[in-house]
Amino acid sequence: MKDLFNVKLRLLTATLLSIGLLHASPGFANGVDTPATQASVNTGTTLYNGISTDYGASFVGIPYAAAPVDALRWQPPQPAVIGSEFDATVAGAACPQIASPYGVGSENEDCLSLNVYKPKPRQGKNAQQKLPVVVWMHGGSLTSGVSSLYDPVKLVKRNLVVVTINYRLGALGYLSHPALAAETEAGNSGNYGLMDQQAALRWVRDNIAAFGGDPDNVTLSGQSAGGYSVLANLVSPASAGLFHKAIVQSGVYTLEEPTQQQWEVAGSALAVAMGCEDQSAECLRNLEVATILENQGSIATQYPIVVDGATIPQQITNAISTGEFHHMPVMNGSTSDEFSLYVAALNELVGNPVTEENYLQSIIGAGIPEVIAPLAQAEYPVSDYASPGLALTALGTDAAFACNAQAMSFWLAAFVPTYAYEFADPDPAPLLPPISFPYGAYHGSDVQYIMQTPNSLIAEKSKPQKALEHQMLSYWASFARHGNPNVNLAPYWFRFKTSLPVMQSLKPWLAYPTLNFHQKHHCEFWYGFAES
């Protein structure tokens, strides 16, 4: 099974995933519906003063680790010193990232904060019962994104406690370097952003009960690079016991993580580019944040999770396909037109639309190896689609996401209860300007159905879309509560099994099981290029 699905196509992952979290501007989500009064929670060590909302209360900008500055830069996260009282009414800063049309610029390293959103207290016999907890990790290629973009009011209204987190990004979050490795007992470097996520989960374990959450019923969820981070935490020994269910939305499924030693070569080259010819940790820690951000792209377009033998002991796909991960129920899925954002951002919106004449070159430009590109062109002829852009969208969606998501579901289902889905709303609220063909269910379009995001406010959802939103929220809430998405009166969602790979199709008005995902997305074609 492993060999069959280990597809070796490496598309422009960094570009794709940064597109997946274009919604990156600060200060959107404080969880505040209307101006309201103060709400307070006492954890026993700190009194957190937040804001009372129409649905409950929000507590934002809570430090879960000390600011990773000076001597703590490129160190595992250390405990935060907060004091006896904390003002949790202002969202924390985004972690350092380059300003772009797709992200928020920030040079503030004091960014390791989280936000807690809780519903109103319940009445009656269940008033003291702790609620399921959902921890959300944003996407953005591990180089951009911020938690304050996601207002989880829709989930909170389903009687869930929701936590959204920031974590270190780019070189500051994922640099490996020999000088940094020499400082640690295990000799590892890199994966600092992943360690931040684990520190946030430990904060949840230790404090969430005071906010009404159940520390023994935590679902870790994320989209795009956030979904990839969920998979990494499933594999990491340091995440053991910190969460109990997992939701992966359009994650990265076949990325080959470099070894720490391989990535240290890139880290050493980056040190030289930034002026640290002596390769010392002291020089690296004295660099201005702006210098790091300006130079990190000169060495690599993405800063990956690495196999360091400690935080990540082996390739993520190897671990999952052989059952060497934390066993728990998993929900895993993708959207039906993931790649349309890529075609828009790198073709349509920059004056280079896909045409019949440049179709083959556009396939290669999308990251398909030249030896495979002509075969892919024949598999996805322009004549089968309404436009060349739609043809490339279908090709890229299948190669980069759909078939790899299905492969991950096969691996997971061999060991744990797995629920697979495809989000297929043909007309969600847009994220980018109009192009010559419909975006369809683009990468990240499913998020607006479970979270309030900036683009979800662009247009009122239609009645069928509202029905889909209600259905999805019911599924997500039930999964967080029970590890099973099925609820009363909902279309039944069958488990994905290796012998019966059924997916749940999520469309306006209708959610239903389907067995034709494999054929629809040409997966037999793409699996044919698997490594043997």
Distances 181 to 142, 176, 178, 409 between C-alpha atoms, Å: 21, 8, 5, 35
Which H or E run includes 343?
Answer: helix 340-346
Count of C-beta atoms within a 10 Å radius of residue 492: 11
406 pairs with which residues across the strands? none
Is 443 marked active-site? yes
Sole residue written with tokens 């009445």: 123
Map residue 433 onto helix, strand or coil: coil
* Residue of 338, 348, 422, 469 marked active site: 338
3-state helix, strand, coil in the chain (%, to 5): 35, 15, 45
51 within 8 A of 41, measured Cβ to Cβ: no
Dmax over Cα atoms in the chain, in whole Å?
68
Q: Which of 430, 416, 266 is nearest to 337 (CA)?
A: 430
What span, in angstroms and rounded, lies between the C-alpha atoms of 414 and 294?
A: 44
Burial letters 260-281, b for 16+ CB under 10 A, else e: beebbebbbebbeebebeeeeb
Q: Rg of the chain's alpha carbons, rounded to an integer?
A: 22
Q: Based on the number of CB atoms within 10 Å of its own CB, is 479 exposed (0-12), middle (13-18) or buried (19 or more)?
A: buried
* Residue of 326, 443, 521, 522 marked active site: 443
Classify strands 47-52 and 56-63 as parallel, antiparallel or unpaired.
antiparallel
* Residue of 141, 144, 224, 362 marked active site: 224
What span, in angstroms and rounded, lies between the C-alpha atoms of 156 and 134?
A: 9
Q: Where are the beta strands (DSSP E) in 112-241?
A: 113-119, 131-137, 161-165, 213-223
Is 224 marked active-site? yes
Q: Which of 461, 447, 510, 497 is nearest to 145 (CA)?
A: 447
What span, in angstroms and rounded, lies between the C-alpha atoms of 132 and 207?
A: 14
Q: Which alpha helices (DSSP H) does 385-458 contain, by range?
A: 388-397, 403-413
What span, in angstroms and rounded, lies between the C-alpha atoms of 458 and 461?
A: 9
Angle at 309 between CA 306 and CA 315, to 5 degrees: 50
Q: Which of 114, 98, 109 is nearest to 29 (CA)?
A: 114
Count of C-beta atoms within a 10 Å radius of residue 193: 26
Sole residue written with tokens 């279908």: 394
51 within 8 A of 36, measured Cβ to Cβ: yes
- Structure tokens that stand for 204 in this block: 């949840």
265 within 8 A of 416, measured Cβ to Cβ: no
Which residues form the catalytic set?
A: 224, 338, 443
